Amino acid sequence: MSVTAAAPAPTDLPMARAINAGLRAAMRRDDKVLLMGEDIGPLGGVFRVTDGLQKEFGRDRVVDTPLAESGIIGTAIGLAMAGYRPVCEIQFDGFVFPGFDQLTTQLAKLSYRSQGRVQVPVVIRIPYGGGIRSIEHHSESPEALFAHTAGLRIVTPATAADAFTMVQQAIVAPDPVVFLEPKARYWERGEVDVDAPVDLGETGVTTGLHAARVVRPGRDATLAGYGPTVKTLLAAAQAAAAEGHELEVVDLRSVSPLDVGTVTASVRRTGRLVVAHEAPVFFGAGAELAARVTEECFYHLEAPVLRVGGFHTPYPAAAHEEEYLPGLDRVLDAVDRALAY
């Protein structure tokens, strides 16, 4: 009698460790993958996401760089043109701006400028968002700035499982990817099947990297968000259920390209949409989604699309960030207003 071995059980990992596992898997799969960033070697990065990787792969593949974001990204562009797949770590979201010129005027445009003859498969990993009571320039949400720049893919996981999968998909993509990591969720745990095959696409382009996902079904209204706000939206749906309202929650997962189809399918069922993100509402990603949904679902909407997010101010001091961030109460207030129509 033959005995079939049981499949390995998923591992319970915090998001930071899941990204570490994803980077390790990508580096073992392809020796052209290398990591670059400030203090990512023996220290393992300021959030310890790259902990242990230099010891396993050596200093030539896990490179401690000078404190020069423009130099990091510029060097990565050259390496990518030479056939490598560099993965750059920016220590904090607000530190990316010294490299913004390289990112938006060079990295984003080289493939288009060369009519596809030059590919620059660079991944820029950026811890972003608030919730860690940090100082100025350590809690930014700059996704709209990058999404407005054609030629960049912008993605962000909300769970450890997605972080493990999506970072590997980002690395094999032929285009530059800004991989936004919600730093407030780094140490929240989730089940990750590190032995499961990852959809990497035949040519490195997988629709899975940019596909939104319904993470909680509902019928009364749709809540859509990404990255750090998904947990808040799920908590709002749970609270609303106690009052008899069934809210559907959509994790967008990608800011550019934006999976509008999944959201419009949800809105056609529920008739209402509330979009939330930590970035300021003014000219934010939620505005684009609201406009697209209004265009495509006008006759299905029972209420205006509402947005919840940060205010049009610089990110505040730590003592005031709870008032700035779109917490449970502000999301539920928007739900109440949508349901009142």
CB 19 within 8 A of CB 45: no
Coil vs helix vs strand at 67 = coil
CA torsion angle 324 322 247 287 (round to 10)? 10
Q: Of 56, 33, 53, which Cα lies nearest the Cα of 41?
A: 53
Contacts for 59 with CB less than 8 Å, ≥ 6 apart: 41
Place of tokens 């908590």: 235
Q: How far apart are the first and last CA of the chain?
A: 65
Helix 15-29 / helix 160-172 crossing angle, nearest 10 deg: 30
Question: Given 3-state DSSP classes, what are the helix, strand and coil percentages for the chain, each rounded to the nearest 5?
Answer: 40, 20, 40
Helix 328-339 / helix 229-241 crossing angle, nearest 10 deg: 60
Rounded to 5 degrees, φ, ψ at 99 are -100, 10
DSSP string, 213-272: EEEE--SSEEEEE-TTHHHHHHHHHHHHHTTT--EEEEE--EEES--HHHHHHHHHHHS-
Place of tokens 């993509």: 173
Q: How many CB atoms lie within 10 A of CB 231?
A: 18
Q: How far is CA 248 from the centre of its chain?
A: 20
State yes or no: is 138 an active-site residue: yes
Catalytic residue among 138, 210, 245, 277: 138
The C-alpha atoms of residue 76 and residue 228 are separated, in whole angstroms, by 28
The catalytic residues are: 138
